[in-house]
Structure 1
Amino acid sequence: MKFPNISDIATTSVVSIDIKSTFNEAINKMLENEHRNIIVIDINDFYIMSIIDILNIQAKDVDMNIPLSNLQLSRIPTINKNKNILDTLEYLNNSIEYICVINEDSTLYGLVTHTDITSNIDPDTLMDNYRLQDFLKLGRRMKWVTRHERIASLLQDMVNNFYDNVVVVEDLKPIGIFTTKDIMRLIKNKTELDVEIEEHMSSPVDSIHKNSSVREALSFIKDRHYKRVIVVDDDGSLSGIISQKELISITYSKWAMLMKEYQDELSEINLMLENKNIEYETIASTDALTGLYNRHKFYQLYLSSYTSMVQRHNDMSLILLDIDHFKKVNDVYGHNAGDKTLVQVSHTILKTLRNVDVVCRWGGEEFLVLLPTADMIHAISIAEKLRKAIEELDIDIVGSITSSFGVSLVREGEDMQDVIDRADKALYLAKDSGRNCVKSEADL
């Protein structure tokens, strides 16, 4: 049985905004697109701002023009769009409501929500004898009120207790529901909130009997596009609420259990093949001594980063660095000491660089570093940080060493070799200037 890929089920109609934008700009964008959530992007990190977050922030009388970067927003996990749907289970068993789906270059592809996953569950694989009452957790994440509850006071309670819905009851029978969708409508229309909830609740309420099967509950959600099911007993009284997350967890746990005996052997074979493939790929793409990328792999990563730079109109820079007087290290202390020096310098470079940066051993004692999203000023700053880190090393037998740096800016329409040539000229200028310094193409 084939489990769908994340890209097949993800919602791509996502509203997003840069983290440098303001709180007010985010709200306006949500209202314009009639979305209850907005994704806030900070390079390779993703956050979500919901209606509940907006209410909480507004209650603190925050300046509407405050940058989103100054707010305490919830970071959401990411998953590659080519992953399998079963890879989402570890998130859905927790309190995570959304998973951000990303492309190979870590840009935003879409979102996976409980609705997306529920809509792709095959009911024929579920156990019909599992009933909602077997899994119902009374009172869990549920709040009910009477029709006379005032919205203004209720909203604060929803914020404080992280409720995304409230059930309105009369004689313990559900007569309405008030959700974040209703809150969004009130905010958009600038509606007076000091009114009774019955004026703005969604009514009547669709409910399902607690003796219904998981199959029936899933069909109920899919047909009505709901996020939760309100469960009642024989008298029609409220028994509880089961969210999509809980249904998905139940469903896939049972599904995975049924599939396990058929999947185990295949998974073991696949794992062996994947590990062997990773091993061969590592050998083919890394330098045997330092473990850094080799020239071939660096060129592949350069092309990928260059494409992203052009598409996203970002800056990108390159650093070429060379260990000073390295021949003397080999001649005086031996090649073993030289190898240890190269390894230690490699580790220092990796520890100092950002996660998005790419470094390779270009040859001998030369290293090449690619800096996505870094302009010339930022690249020079990173190079200076590397220079100091290497200078502070205390290498066994050898002692301290220094290194020289050449920095160049990647320009659209030119070959990688053109960028390297300018960095190489800047490196030689650093050597001629006494070594242990950073020079850029602007110094040429």
Structure 2
Amino acid sequence: MQFPTLESLATRQVISLDEQASLAEALELMNTHAIRSLLVSCGKSYRLLQSKDLMAFHLQGINFNVPLTQVMLPRVLCLPPDSDLQEAIKLISLHQAEQVCLVDANDQICGIVTYTDLVQNLDPDTLAESQRLGDLLRGMLLLQVNKEMPVSLVLSLMQQQGVNTALVSEDRKPLGILTLSDVMRLLAKGQELSCRVDQVMSSPVDTLPEHFSVRQAVNAMREKSYKRLVVVNEDERVVGLISQQDLVSLYYSQWFTLIKKQQQELLEKNQSLEQKSLVCTQLLEELDYPVLLLTANGQLNQHNQATERIFAKEKLQPGTTLLELMQGNPSLANTQDFFSQIETGQAAKAEVMFKSAKGYYQAYQLTCRPLTRIGEGLMLLSFKPRQAIEALALK
């Protein structure tokens, strides 16, 4: 299993603004495109303006008519387009970010990968069907506020707790949700934030039952393009809030575990094959007559030193076919049946003449048989000198 490249997941349309633009212009652009972050172009580099930054600036009393150059903004997290998903997840998690930008060899932004892009490309089948939302959310903090509280106070609480969402509830039953996107729309309209939260919250609240599996939550979030969902128990009381970030973190944690397990299994198989190969090499060298080990398609896999008596060393390269080795041999025309049999994995015998390294011809009996216990499809081909066979028969 391989991780997909970021280029294959990225959103190509990247919204950006010049650093000379004002905070008010940035706010309007973000509301127009319904985005929570915006790239700020600073010459050849980029910085990131997020909705939480705008909320912080508002709480600090900063005039939104000031240019972006006068506020502190973090640099954009960047990776090359051919980076894989694992690199992005690690970088985003390390910096507690929500996106990473793709920068080509010319230092040009060519895409952006957000948690929304990651959720849309999840394969729910990788997730355990048995893992329930209620178990996942147990112990996780959730900001719940009273419906009469002013938006400004709720916003301060959100900033203090470092969250993007506040759940408006009564007796632990969800009434609505206030997000930073909601507050940004209020600011864009010039509304004061002293109004009650229940006057501006998003309501009613879409919920998921706590007995839903993580797989079902991923499907629900993908189908309706939700960034977050409230999880409730059988009494419709709040258990917690599940976000795209939570699901992505859980999903890729399980995926990485699966990849690690597969890599370990592959390593163990390779070690086993290497051990068998070493044993096979040692056995071949114990034989004083030429022996070749062939793959199922007739290519050379291994040979012993005695084989160099009849074949030039430079020809005995892995991947060389038996037919190529026997080119120029006077007996080649008489071995068609032999080749046909070994191509189908059958045992076969033939008598051939080979020119030795000293320049004279020697008769050999070719014997080929499959080695099913050593490796699938491997064939052992031996070249026994005819005189040795006759001497053995006399005994």
Tell me the TM-score normalised to structure 1 length: 0.55
Count of matched residue pairs: 267
Residue equivalent to 1:180 = 180
Residue equivalent to 1:107 = 108
Following the alignment from structure 2 to structure 1, what is the Cα–Cα distance between the partners of residues 200 and 65?
30
Residue equivalent to 1:225 = 225
Matched, 1:98 2:91: no
Give SS of 1:252's match.
helix
Give SS of 1:129's match.
coil
Residue equivalent to 2:385 = none
Instruction: Return the letter of the residue paired with 2:61.
Output: D
CA-CA distance at 1:65 after TM superposition: 4.3
Instruction: Return the letter of the residue paired with 1:120.
Output: N
CA-CA distance at 1:233 after TM superposition: 1.7
CA-CA distance at 1:43 after TM superposition: 4.2
Residue equivalent to 2:247 = 247
Residue equivalent to 1:201 = 201
On the 8 A contact 2:39/2:48 being kept in 1, the answer is: yes
Where does the alignment leave 5 or more consecutive residues of structure 2 unmatched?
Answer: 269-395
On the 8 A contact 1:77/1:99 being kept in 2, the answer is: yes
Instruction: Return the letter of the residue paired with 2:147.
Output: R
On the 8 A contact 1:18/1:40 being kept in 2, the answer is: yes
Give SS of 1:195's match.
coil
Structure 1 residue runs of 4+, over 6 Å off?
265-268
Following the alignment from structure 1 to structure 2, what is the Cα–Cα distance between the partners of residues 10 and 57?
30
CA-CA distance at 1:119 after TM superposition: 0.8
Instruction: Return the letter of the residue paired with 2:15.
Output: V
CA-CA distance at 1:175 after TM superposition: 1.7
On the 8 A contact 1:36/1:184 being kept in 2, the answer is: no
Give SS of 1:169's match.
strand
Q: Higher helix share goes to which structure? A: 1
Equivalences for residues 54-65 of structure 1 within 5 A: 54-65=54-65
Residue equivalent to 2:132 = 131
Residue equivalent to 2:156 = 156
Equivalences for residues 262-411 of structure 1 within 5 A: 262-263=262-263
Instruction: Return the letter of the residue paired with 2:105.
Output: E
Deviations 1:367-399 (A, max 9, x none): xxxxxxxxxxxxxxxxxxxxxxxxxxxxxxxxx
CA-CA distance at 1:21 after TM superposition: 3.6
Query: For the structure 1 residues 249 and 59, does the alpha-carbon distance in structure 2 shift closer, same or farther, using more than 3 Å as the test?
Result: closer
CA-CA distance at 1:19 after TM superposition: 2.9
Query: For the structure 1 residues 202 and 23, does the alpha-carbon distance in structure 2 shift closer, same or farther, using more than 3 Å as the test?
Result: closer
Give SS of 1:111's match.
strand
Percent identity between the two aligned chains:
31
On the 8 A contact 2:15/2:38 being kept in 1, the answer is: yes
Residue equivalent to 2:276 = none
Residue equivalent to 2:216 = 216
On the 8 A contact 1:92/1:249 being kept in 2, the answer is: no
Following the alignment from structure 2 to structure 1, what is the Cα–Cα distance between the partners of residues 248 and 33?
28
Following the alignment from structure 1 to structure 2, what is the Cα–Cα distance between the partners of residues 7 and 37?
20
CA-CA distance at 1:164 after TM superposition: 0.7
Deviations 1:254-282 (A, max 9, x none): 122223343458799xxxxxxxxxxxxxx
Instruction: Return the letter of the residue paired with 2:104.
Output: N
CA-CA distance at 1:66 after TM superposition: 3.2
Deviations 1:234-255 (A, max 9, x none): 2111111222222111111112
CA-CA distance at 1:190 after TM superposition: 2.3
Query: For the structure 1 residues 28 and 172, does the alpha-carbon distance in structure 2 shift closer, same or farther, using more than 3 Å as the test?
Result: closer
Following the alignment from structure 2 to structure 1, what is the Cα–Cα distance between the partners of residues 21 and 10?
25
Residue equivalent to 2:191 = 191
Following the alignment from structure 1 to structure 2, what is the Cα–Cα distance between the partners of residues 8 and 80?
12
On the 8 A contact 1:36/1:51 being kept in 2, the answer is: yes
On the 8 A contact 1:9/1:116 being kept in 2, the answer is: yes
Matched, 1:77 2:68: no
Following the alignment from structure 2 to structure 1, what is the Cα–Cα distance between the partners of residues 257 and 34?
39
Give SS of 2:30's match.
helix
Instruction: Return the letter of the residue paired with 2:22.
Output: T
Name the larger-Rg structure: 2
Give SS of 1:134's match.
helix
Residue equivalent to 1:234 = 234
Deviations 1:84-104 (A, max 9, x none): 222222134342222122223
On the 8 A contact 1:40/1:49 being kept in 2, the answer is: yes
On the 8 A contact 1:138/1:239 being kept in 2, the answer is: no
Residue equivalent to 1:116 = 117
Matched, 1:38 2:38: yes
CA-CA distance at 1:70 after TM superposition: 2.9
Instruction: Return the letter of the residue paired with 2:67.
Output: P
Q: CA RMSD in A?
A: 2.5
Query: For the structure 1 residues 84 and 8, does the alpha-carbon distance in structure 2 shift closer, same or farther, using more than 3 Å as the test?
Result: same
Matched, 1:51 2:51: yes
